[in-house]
Amino acid sequence: MAMKDVQIDLRVAELLASRLCHDLVGPIGAVNNGMELIEDEDPGMIGEALKLVATSSKQAASNLQFFRLAYGMSGAQVGGDLSELRDLVSGYLGSGKVALDWSVRTGPTGAPDGLGKLVLNMVALAGEGLPRGGTLKVAVDAGVSGGGVEASVTATGPGAKLREETEPALCPGVAVGDLTPRNVQGYFTRILARRAGGDLTVDTAQPEILVFSVILPA
């Protein structure tokens, strides 16, 4: 591997680590806040503080489990019927303002290795386009009737759109030096799609609907 390639991989890894840390700061900070409330020993606040700690620690754990497969080596081996990913995505989205619509079909041979990792990254990318909540629909048709793979993640909701800083990260000629923690998700997701034999497409034609899709050969 050329030194240039090593440097590119290192920068992308650093940016992804920054994004992961950003997603963990919120729930972990809330856990700390809850613990401080408990230490104040205000009887009227203990119940709410315990609820805050429980909810926030659960969200932090869900985020870690999600990104372990989305960014880590173990995600490359996720295949089969992808059923294990539904709970993982649901936990990542939390019980807040984004609902999950899951529609996955796999043929007798299941989904190819690496598809689950790609889908998780498409979910993370699409979720960025829902600033005020909405619905994420995950649709996968893998190996049915001997065909290839079609996967899409659709973000629908008020104000749903592709973030301005994400657009250049999805372009083929983007310089890695121009990536930031806020747009590296788009770059990384497209790399995964291309390595799987396809490419990531984005449809922004309909207002407040954002569709990321990929077609992989049989």
Of residues 154, 210, 187, the one with CA closest to residue 14? 187
CA distances from 92 to 34, 59, 95, 101, 186 (A): 21, 7, 9, 14, 18
pLDDT tens profile 30-81: 888 888 877 776 677 778 888 888 888 888 899 999 999 999 876 666 655 6
Confidence of residue 135 (pLDDT cuts 50, 70, 90): very high
pLDDT value, residue 148: 84
Give the chain's domains with CATH numbers.
3-216 (3.30.565.10)
CA distances from 10 to 15, 61, 116, 177, 189 (A): 9, 26, 23, 11, 16
Q: pTM of the prediction? A: 0.88
Q: Hey, what long-range contacts does 24-28 have (CB within 8 A, 24 or more apart)?
A: 24/60, 24/63, 24/64, 26/59, 27/56, 27/57, 27/59, 27/60, 27/63, 28/56, 28/60
DSSP-H helix ranges across the chain: 3-39, 43-71, 83-93, 115-127, 184-195
pLDDT value, residue 84: 81
Of residues 93, 101, 91, 170, the one with CA closest to residue 130? 93
Residue 97 corresponds to which tokens in the numbers above?
């303002």
pLDDT value, residue 81: 64
